[in-house]
Amino acid sequence: MRIFNVGNNGVNLFLLDSGSHRLLIDSGFPDKLHDLGRRMRETGFKVQNIDYLVVTHFHIDHAGAIQELKDSGVKFVLFDMQMNYISGMEKMMEGKWPYKKLLMNDNVVLNIDKSRYFLSTLGIKGQIFPTPGHSDDSVSLLLDTGEAFTGDLTADYLMMGKNSVENQTWTNLKKQNARIIYPSHGKMYEIKDAYTSSE
């Protein structure tokens, strides 16, 4: 599995290349496809070579260019649990951004519990699951090898307090062997306090 950061404008966008397929995690801001294309050059692929797109959550810097990517031939996987969060984002952007409205008739709508099977069809061993905290529609992609793409989830080393939703999310991520964290903003890092069942 090759992992590329093709991010731009302050957002990390991760491209997974399994050899047979390419999956992009997050779309970035609206109207920045040119910047994505420039970063894609370093990977040897073009935007048109991306098979599928998933978004970690519906905020403008993550999901602002979904339709633009679809118009370039990328298929968008919409998780059922994210569906109700599209209109909130689109309302906030109205008149403020050169945003292309997300068409609803041609997305690949997927129950998130089926993500492991879906990823396997792309040659990717891993899973996508809800990781609430930053927002209720937040999801993370976790590879079986321990790399986790966590969107805007507060970094593990910045967590304070014990009872927050994010703490529970982190407990779950560690239980499932998340080791190397790729956040949407900032640098990747390794989890230091590995989860043990005696905790």
Binding of Zn ion by 17 (CB under 5 A): no
Q: Looking at beta carbons only, is 22 or 59 nearer to Zn ion?
A: 59
Using the rule CB under 5 A, give the single segment among 35-43, 56-64, 89-97, 107-115 that binds Zn ion: 56-64
Give the residue from 147, 141, 184, 182 showing the smallest Cα distance to 1: 147
Q: Looking at beta carbons only, is 152 or 156 nearer to Zn ion?
A: 152
The minimum distance between CB 193 and Zn ion, in angstroms, equals 25
**Contact, 67 vs 51, CB < 8 A?**
no
Binding of Zn ion by 59 (CB under 5 A): yes
The minimum distance between CB 82 and Zn ion, in angstroms, equals 13
Selected binder of Zn ion within 147, 152, 156, 166 (CB under 5 A): 152
Helix (H, G, I), strand (E, B) or coil at 83: helix
Q: Looking at beta carbons only, is 123 or 132 nearer to Zn ion?
A: 132
Q: Looking at beta carbons only, is 59 or 174 nearer to Zn ion?
A: 59
**Contact, 30 vs 65, CB < 8 A?**
yes
How many chain residues are in contact with Zn ion, going by CB under 5 A? Answer: 2
Alpha carbons 120 and 173: distance in angstroms, whole number: 20
Q: How many C-beta neighbours within 10 Å does residue 137 have? A: 23
**Contact, 59 vs 90, CB < 8 A?**
no
Residues forming the site for Zn ion (CB under 5 A): 59, 152
